[in-house]
Structure 1
């Protein structure tokens, strides 16, 4: 066998993955939720780090069964020299926290509560803004009330419309009128498809 390239391992991300069978199927935490850290590792002084601290969920890592919480589990990261920092820099960055170490905070009470996923109630028009479907709802087991799912943020909402961007009015305008009496594609294109179909049938006949 040819010798393996020594630097090949550095090209593959080393972030550990959770096996498919061990991944959480039904998540009740979404980006934008407020959670509280209920457990964690001990630091040098023997205290639980960030336990009892609340923060906003910035990212959900379903392949790790973990979340990234704003201002929690901070670690120092070295930045290589770049045009913005010619000499490099050291910053604090949030690392992932296991899903079992956080608990959802009810925005109505401001306290961490145990939740459970329940099916949509009969006659209730509940639409999940994250998936766009009538999915499960989150029930607060302490107050027996529903916790709304946060609306996902539009990444292009804060950006200005440029000269090459299409305005929202033009996007919403219906410009295509279907007609069943005419073919939606040019005749030359349809003839080429028919020729390819016949050629495929002839080649498979032998």
Structure 2
């Protein structure tokens, strides 16, 4: 009964379409360095004491991915400072992020969306979203809001000429620096999530016109495939979808151990000891 209810729950694209949806959460947290280094448990009912690699409150999100080279280098440097202060019994002031992340049910920007820049020299121009950063509420628009930056820093020391290129800079969504374009009239709009007519999935619509803004196919691109329907399963490694969706569970009025014994024909000889509750 409960399984059938879960199957009928409407799909929520705003929670599924993210750059880490096909990456283990443990890996992302490990690259952020916000994991316990050691947990001191067994404290006679008292809560566990955790010694962090980097305290979660000290993590400062950026528009770069946590596993990029520059971000990892800064995280390792911060980790050394944190543990040096702990070993020296000195005060270590935690950095608290000043950016409050937009809730998932209110996020409406995805890669491939047509948007309009509202600030800067490109104000009024429309472009396509290259990538998004939900942690910092920022997006990058292709060819818009660019800045001339050096490609490789320090190459002049080894006799290579300095190379400059234009790079897109982030635009803040929470500060209305960029807005979605309504496909009905190609004008700016704000969007919201509503249930479709069949109540099976949330769709994105314009608050001004009520016109549906479809999610672009680029938003579904992952590190494993460009489109989900074109993913090639690896033989002897990927479990086929038909086997995964096969319902094999049969509920029984017995414990897990009793069910295993019954399946393998094992007769339990020992008698369970009585238990008492005070």
Q: TM-score scaled to structure 1, two decimals? A: 0.55
Q: Compared with structure 1, are the counterparts of its residues 166 and 36 closer, same or farther at alpha carbon in structure 2 (3 Å cutoff)?
A: same
Q: Does 1:60 align with 2:132?
A: yes
| Equivalent of 2:172 in 98, 101, 104 | 98
Runs of 5+ in structure 1 lacking a partner? 1-6, 41-47, 82-86, 129-133, 188-193
Partners of 1:9 and 1:183 lie apart in 2 by 46
* Mapping 1:1-206, distance limit 5 Å: 11-12=77-78, 17-20=97-100, 23-25=101-103, 26-40=106-120, 48=121, 50-75=122-147, 76-79=149-152, 92-99=166-173, 100-109=176-185, 111-117=186-192, 119-120=194-195, 124-128=197-201, 134=202, 137-141=204-208, 143-150=209-216, 152-155=219-222, 156-158=224-226, 160-166=232-238, 168-174=240-246, 176-181=248-253, 183-185=255-257, 186=260
Runs of 5+ in structure 2 lacking a partner? 1-72, 80-95, 155-159, 262-271
CA contact (8 A) 2:182 2:189 kept: no
Q: TM-score scaled to structure 2, two decimals? A: 0.43
Hey, what does 1:131 align to over in structure 2?
none
Q: Compared with structure 1, are the counterparts of its residues 55 and 157 closer, same or farther at alpha carbon in structure 2 (3 Å cutoff)?
A: same
Aligned-CA RMSD value: 4.3
Instruction: Give the match's secondary structure for 1:146.
Output: coil
